[in-house]
Amino acid sequence: MSSSSLSTSSLSNSTSTAALRAYGWDDAWAAEFAPYAAQGLLPGRVVRVDRGQCDLVTAEGIVRADTAFVTPHDPLRVICTGDWAAVDAEGAGDPRYVRAYLPRRTTFARSTSSKRSEGQVLATNVDHAIITVSLAVELDLGRIERFLALAWESGAQPLVVLSKADVVPDPVGLSYLVEDVETVAPGVQVLPVSSLTGEGVDVLRAVAASGTSVLLGVSGAGKSTLANTLLGEDVMDVQAAREVDGKGRHTTTTRNLLVLPGGGVLIDTPGLRGVGLWDAEAGVGQVFAEIEDLAADCRFHDCAHESEPGCAVTAAIADGTLPERRLDSYRKLLRENQRLVAKTDARLRAEILKDWKRKGAAGRAALEAKRGRAR
């Protein structure tokens, strides 16, 4: 190919993908897509998935495509809102098919509530995980820690938004609530926001403008209201939460990817009833960074932070610098994550069984020693 024809081809490709830049397309994605472009396929970003089909935004506009060729048995590898995919060009047939999707930069996944404990991908290629927590109900710090663990594990930067800040008109009271959340969110910005008064909206809009953001939270947290505020129009349906417990119905039933007028892309998700961890040990460690820092100073490297001598963690609890609730939550999330991983890791299952036997033997030995002293 001559240099002139190569230049013309590059210009054509640049022009055809210019419309995708608003959705996050960049030179790195273009390089990843090059082998598929050579096959005559089009790049597109998945904006919605529904019953074996998906909507993608392409240089041709929004197209509907079948996902039969990218539906593996592993639920963590099914195509998801946020994916960049290779789709048939116009005229390739009816229906058009998604042929592949590009390697994901980040993946936000949780475990399902099913007894099979499968993973479920909620959103991909996300830069900011906006964890939405309503101030209209009592704060659930444990749930916030769960969301944060999943967010850190995904590779995205978390942000905790305390929505409906207008229901706490006292600035001092609001500052105390922010401090409570900051204690469980080290390294994470905690932002009070009110779509009614506009408090915090400009800061949130600036964060969302720099990449792809996903809104996460339980039903009634105010995600759809925040989405409409960022979009500048009522795109997402909104329903009032119950006054008794602050819970709302699922006004968002699918994960939708939307371009924001001030720049950036937003993925709105349905409210999550369960926030199960999925292989999130590193994320848990990030959320409880102060405990892991303390653990480095324990006398024993395998300290369980229970009754061992020289434990820096229990010492911090004794002197009041570490709340006991934090250690309890840390242990709970680690145990839960370990159980889930063990279901798919035979070596880990064997190690856990060995540890249980060791602890059981130690307990029986202690009991026998106690009985001997009693005699």
pLDDT (tens digit per residue) in 99-125: 999 999 999 988 765 455 577 889 999
The residue-averaged pLDDT of 350-367 equals 53
Q: Which residues are paired to 259 by β-bridges?
A: 265
Phi-psi region of 99 (alpha: psi -120 to 50; beta: other; left: phi over 0): alpha
Asked if 277 contacts 150 with a C-beta cutoff of 8 angstroms, the reply is yes
- Tokens standing for 60? 């041709």
Measure CA 291 to chain center.
22
The average pLDDT across 142-146 equals 93
As a whole number of angstroms, the distance between CA 338 and CA 143 comes to: 18
CA distances from 180 to 25, 132, 298, 320 (A): 38, 15, 27, 16
Dihedral Cα 73, 77, 83, 88, nearest 10 deg: -40
| 106, 150 Cβ separation under 8 angstroms | no
User: In this predicted structure, what is the pLDDT of residue 294?
Assistant: 95
Task: For the beta carbon of residue 325, count every other beta carbon within 10 angstroms.
Answer: 13
Mean pLDDT taken over the chain:
83
Across the range 139-151, mean pLDDT stands at: 93
Strands (E), 188-333: 189-192, 212-216, 256-259, 265-268
pLDDT of 243 strictly over 80: no
Distance linking the first and last C-alpha atoms of the chain: 95
Q: CA–CA distance from 239 to each of 13, 102, 113, 248, 260 (Å)?
A: 43, 36, 25, 7, 22
What is the DSSP pairing of strand 128-134 with strand 212-216? parallel
For 148, phi and psi rounded to 5 degrees? -65, -40
What SS3 state is found at 52? coil
* Cα–Cα separations (whole angstroms), residue 165 to 137, 168, 171, 249, 326: 11, 6, 10, 21, 25
Nearest CA-CA partner of 107 in 263, 260, 279: 279
Q: Which residues contact 268 (CB under 8 A, 6 or more apart)?
A: 215, 223, 224, 227, 236, 252, 255, 256, 258
Average pLDDT over residues 22-27: 94
Of 51-55, 139-143, 252-256, 293-297, the range with the lowest mean pLDDT is 252-256
Q: Would you place residue 235 in the very low, low, confident or very high pLDDT band (cuts 50, 70, 90)?
A: low
pLDDT at position 244: 41
Whether residue 344 has pLDDT greater than 70 = no
- The pLDDT, as a whole number, for residue 241 is 42
Judged by average pLDDT, the poorest of 90-104, 107-121, 195-209 is 107-121
- Residue 343: the pLDDT is 66
> Alpha-carbon distance 151 to 227, whole Å?
19
Looking at the chain, the whole-number percentage of residues with pLDDT higher than 70 is 78
Q: Where residue 365 falls among pLDDT bands split at 50, 70, 90?
A: low
Tokens 């061992």: give the residue: 308
Tell me the pLDDT tens digit for each residue of 161-192.
999 999 999 999 999 999 999 999 999 999 99
pLDDT, tens only, 316-338:
999 999 999 999 999 999 888 88
Which of 167, 128, 153 lies closest to 275 in space, CA to CA? Answer: 153
Q: What is the mean pLDDT of residues 279-287?
A: 88
Best-predicted range by mean pLDDT among 74-78, 260-264, 367-371?
260-264
pLDDT for 193 beyond 80: yes
User: How many residues are recorded in the chain?
Assistant: 375
pLDDT, greater one: 183 or 13? 183
**What is the average pLDDT across 287-310?**
92
Q: Which value, to the nearest 10 degrees, does the dihedral of the CA atoms of residues 246, 257, 157, 289 take?
A: 50
